[in-house]
Amino acid sequence: MTEKQKMLAGELYNACDPDLLVELNHVKTLCQQYNNLLPTDFSARNSMLQQMLGAADADTFINQPFYCDYGRHIRVGKRFFANFCFTVLDEAFVTIGDDCFIGPNVSILTACHSTDPVERNTRMEWAKPVTIGCNVWIGGSVTVLPGVTIGDNCTIGAGSVVTHDIPANSVAVGNPARVIKTITSDTNP
């Protein structure tokens, strides 16, 4: 297997693999180009997003600046909106459903590193996918950690750190985020 195949399979891989570094640097250039577009040039911005992301549509809107590692591993649903400073480390797939709103300074992380400093310094790592359902609102300065699934119709409160799965129809807050409210079906959109 190539290092990229290992990465996408969730296996241990060399993060300094030359082929991966070429791809990372290419996408960093695309992010810089995107971030330097005029904020009012909606057509060019959307065109670049559709080029960079694995799935996006004509209504995908991400305020600048936006940062990601690979881009093609990010799939967003219909009418996706993300505010300023959206960061996605997409070493694994990040799948986001329809009608999701992301607040400013949100980070979605898939890369995992050893807690052992000797192992960590080898630059070997692994990745776990993140899945976010439809109709989800993620408040400002939230961090979503590797391997997390957030169900449909959830709200994640500002400043939360999501370390484990959040079931559908939940409001979760805190560090680590915990469910504080269940939304009843008659209040769902």
Asked about 26 being catalytic, the answer comes back as: no
pTM (two decimals)? 0.94
Backbone φ/ψ region at 174: left (φ over 0), alpha (ψ -120 to 50), beta: left
Point out the catalytic residue in the list 26, 73, 113, 164: 113
Structural domains in the chain, CATH included, are: 3-187 (2.160.10.10)
Reading the chain (189 residues) residue by residue, the pLDDT tens digits are: 999 999 999 999 999 999 999 999 999 999 999 999 999 999 999 999 999 999 999 999 999 999 999 999 999 999 999 999 999 999 999 999 999 999 999 999 999 999 999 999 999 999 999 999 999 999 999 999 999 999 999 999 999 999 999 999 999 999 999 999 999 865 555
The beta strands (E) that lie in the chain are given as 13-14, 61-62, 66-68, 74-76, 81-82, 86-89, 94-96, 101-102, 107-109, 111-112, 124-127, 130-132, 137-138, 143-144, 149-150, 155-156, 161-162, 170-173, 178-182
Dist. CA 70–CA 60, nearest whole Å: 18
